[in-house]
């Protein structure tokens, strides 16, 4: 979400260029062009911007660059330059993310001024900030240093880069009076990839609809003008993957009692952006009717002044393009059409972001939450949590005694792709039912004194079938990596061999994953297991986490005698 900010600020550099001698935009601006060099949707492409100024005698004071939604940058792709380093013209080379070239008239003499664009540490409340260092062709001339912060456009979730109070003179040498300067053309290139090895910096939108970069200017005289470069259309959206995942968990307290409910949508940076998200709860989980009549007015929501009695939960949104997630609160707000209230998310962090969604009931009575308009940015996790206070989510049945429940998701991508997901509802805090049995586990060891030690694990379901098993080795044992582990580790679920993606490991942990499994069996041998300082007949202690199909996790401790 904050992610777009970066791309935008970079473009702000363009305005910075105007600092050399800004003309009033639209009062002499001609031949503007601005588009990625590679139009592949979602590609890390260079962005080139070029503008000619027909009336360089016009004096521009402020310049705003409007990037289209989805054109975003990654501030984590480079080490940032501090403002102190920027002002001293000593930014680290690794923070360089673009090039600048201007043609200007300095005291009527044509000159070409070049410079660099840097990724600068943003100030509090800013999603991003860029710095520009321009070098005149005269060696004695000090550099011109400019900065451009970014801000979010609530109208379409695009970002603007803003430059204010641009200068109209420049110093050519110490001790000499400043001379008037007038810009005649602006050329800016922002890198799609930076660093070695290359990392993606600027990312194209993931929708294949027409896009354009716009400009707004204000002169020192107070005159205003606007302009827009010819549009461009990203291509080949169908090549973008779109495989969002959904997870859901609940902590019930009984029939008619509040339920703590959490849902999380996850994506990877390679996927098309999530344009629309819908989450459908299982029958038996519904909203608290006593709260539905209390709604925050839309104006109050936009002003971040909703009454406390309209607060129903919390939200967070993290992205691979930001070091810190956006976090905030969830409110019941006035709907745009008569019916159930809408919900509003007020997210804060490097920027403020407001999202709204609808609450409806399906024909089968299931509760549906829909976010019809989301930003075109990569997300890692988008999480909503409704706590026990004020108790917006209620259980109409005993969830702990219900059959396996699931939450459904329906997701649309900016690329045009669509998918549905079914996620099991993980129940927390449910004890075993009356007469219920816990899962059991057994570990057997052999040949620990040789270079080919062996381990065999058996896990048997109790009253509920199993979904996941995690085994943690004692410190005397560890798993090998790479091909050794692949050749020597085999696992089965109810007699069928598990696929490689369902068997994962680290040095001391083995994880098995299946669906409604009665029995897991894993064998580790052929150099896939390593043993060190194990005494004969020593009893080693193994820890297990076993999760059943209802989401309940059982912790077990198993001891096995070391056989040499």
State the pLDDT at residue 29: 62
Tally Cβ neighbours within 10 Å of residue 463. 15
Report the chain's terminal Cα–Cα distance, integer Å.
57
Distance between CA atoms of residues 102 and 186, nearest Å: 5
Angle at 243 (CA atoms; ends 275, 78), nearest 5 degrees: 75
Separation of alpha carbons 512 and 544, rounded Å: 11
Predicted confidence (pLDDT) at residue 194 exceeds the cutoff of 90: yes
DSSP state string for 266-324: E--TTSPPEEEEEEEPPTTEEE-GGGTT--B-HHHHHTT---GGGEEEEEEEE-TT-SS
In tens, the pLDDT along 40-74 reads 999 999 999 888 877 778 877 787 889 999 999 99
CA dihedral 498, 504, 505, 509 (to 10 degrees): -80
DSSP state at residue 236:
-
Of the candidates 66, 79, 94, the one whose C-alpha atom is nearest the C-alpha of residue 4 is 66
Model confidence at 431, in pLDDT bands (50, 70, 90)? low
Domains of the chain, start order:
3-238 (no CATH), 240-427 (2.60.40), 440-561 (2.60.40.740)
More confident residue, 251 or 404: 251
Please report which helix (H) or strand (E) contains residue 34, including its range: strand 29-36
Yes or no: say if 144 and 24 are a contact pair by the CB < 8 Å rule: no
Question: What does the alpha-carbon distance between residue 322 and residue 150 come to, in Å, rounded to a whole number?
Answer: 14
**Is it the case that residue 549 has pLDDT exceeding 80?**
no
Average pLDDT of the segment spanning 427-456: 81
Give φ, ψ of 50 to 5 degrees.
-145, 135
Given a cut of 60, is residue 16 above it in pLDDT? no
Tens-place pLDDT, residues 383-416:
999 998 999 999 988 888 777 889 999 999 999 9
pLDDT at 13: 39
* Residue 19, pLDDT above cutoff 70: no
Per residue in 82-112, pLDDT (tens digit) is 999 999 999 999 999 999 898 888 888 898 8
444-496 pLDDT, tens digit per residue, is: 999 888 889 999 999 999 888 899 999 999 999 999 988 899 999 999 999 99
Amino acid 359: pLDDT: 96
**Closest C-alpha to 322, from 167, 456, 128:** 128
């Amino acid at each position: 979400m904050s992610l777009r900010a970066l791309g935008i600020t970079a473009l702000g550099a363009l305005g910075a260029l105007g600092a050399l001698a800004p003309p009033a935009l639209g009062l002499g601006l001609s031949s503007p062009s601005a588009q990625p060099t590679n139009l592949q949707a979602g590609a890390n492409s260079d962005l080139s911007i070029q503008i000619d100024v027909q009336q360089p005698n016009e004096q521009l004071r402020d310049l705003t660059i409007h990037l289209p939604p989805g054109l975003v940058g990654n501030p984590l792709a480079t080490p940032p330059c501090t403002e102190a380093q920027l002002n001293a013209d000593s930014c680290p080379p690794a923070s360089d993310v673009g090039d600048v070239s201007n043609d200007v008239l300095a005291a009527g003499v044509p000159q070409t001024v070049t410079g660099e664009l840097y990724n600068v540490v943003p100030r509090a409340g800013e999603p991003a900030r860029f710095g520009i260092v321009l070098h005149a062709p005269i060696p004695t001339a000090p550099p011109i240093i400019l900065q451009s912060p970014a801000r979010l456009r609530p109208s379409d979730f695009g970002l603007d880069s803003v430059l204010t109070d641009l200068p109209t003179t420049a110093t050519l040498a110490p001790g000499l009076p400043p001379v008037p300067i007038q810009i005649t053309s602006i050329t800016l290139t922002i890198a799609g990839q930076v660093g070695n090895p290359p990392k993606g910096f600027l990312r194209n939108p993931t929708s294949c609809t027409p896009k354009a970069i716009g400009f707004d200017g204000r002169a020192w005289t107070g005159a205003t003008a606007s302009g827009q470069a010819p549009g461009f259309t990203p291509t080949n959206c169908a090549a973008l993957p779109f495989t969002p995942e959904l997870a859901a968990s609940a902590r019930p307290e009984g029939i008619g009692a509040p339920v703590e409910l959490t849902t999380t949508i996850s994506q990877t940076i390679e996927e098309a952006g999530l344009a629309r998200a819908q989450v459908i709860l299982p029958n038996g989980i519904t909203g608290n009717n006593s709260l539905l009549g209390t709604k925050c007015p839309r104006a109050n929501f936009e002003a971040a002044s909703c009454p406390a009695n309209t607060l129903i939960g919390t939200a967070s949104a993290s992205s691979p393009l930001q070091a810190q997630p956006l976090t905030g609160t969830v409110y019941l707000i006035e709907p745009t059409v008569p019916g159930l209230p809408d919900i509003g998310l007020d997210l804060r962090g490097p920027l403020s972001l407001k999202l709204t969604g609808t609450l409806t009931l399906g024909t089968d009575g299931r509760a549906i939450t829909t976010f019809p308009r989301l930003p075109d940015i990569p997300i890692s996790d988008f999480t909503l949590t409704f706590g026990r206070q004020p108790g917006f989510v209620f259980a109409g049945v005993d969830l702990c005694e219900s059959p396996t429940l699931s939450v459904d998701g329906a997701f649309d991508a900016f690329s045009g792709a669509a998918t549905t997901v079914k996620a099991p509802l993980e129940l927390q805090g449910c004890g075993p039912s009356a007469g219920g049995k816990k899962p059991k586990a057994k570990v057997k060891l052999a040949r620990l004194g040789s270079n080919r030690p062996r381990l065999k694990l058996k896990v048997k379901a109790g009253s509920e079938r199993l979904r996941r098993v995690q085994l943690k080795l004692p410190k005397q044992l560890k798993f090998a990596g790479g091909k050794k582990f692949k050749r020597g580790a085999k696992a089965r679920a109810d007699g069928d061999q598990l696929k490689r993606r369902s068997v994962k490991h680290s040095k001391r942990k083995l994880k098995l994953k299946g669906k409604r499994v009665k029995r897991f069996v894993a064998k580790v041998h052929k150099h896939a297991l390593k043993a060190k300082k194990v005494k004969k007949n020593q009893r080693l202690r193994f820890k297990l986490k076993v999760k059943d199909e209802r989401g309940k996790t059982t912790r077990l401790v198993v001891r096995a005698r070391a056989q040499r």
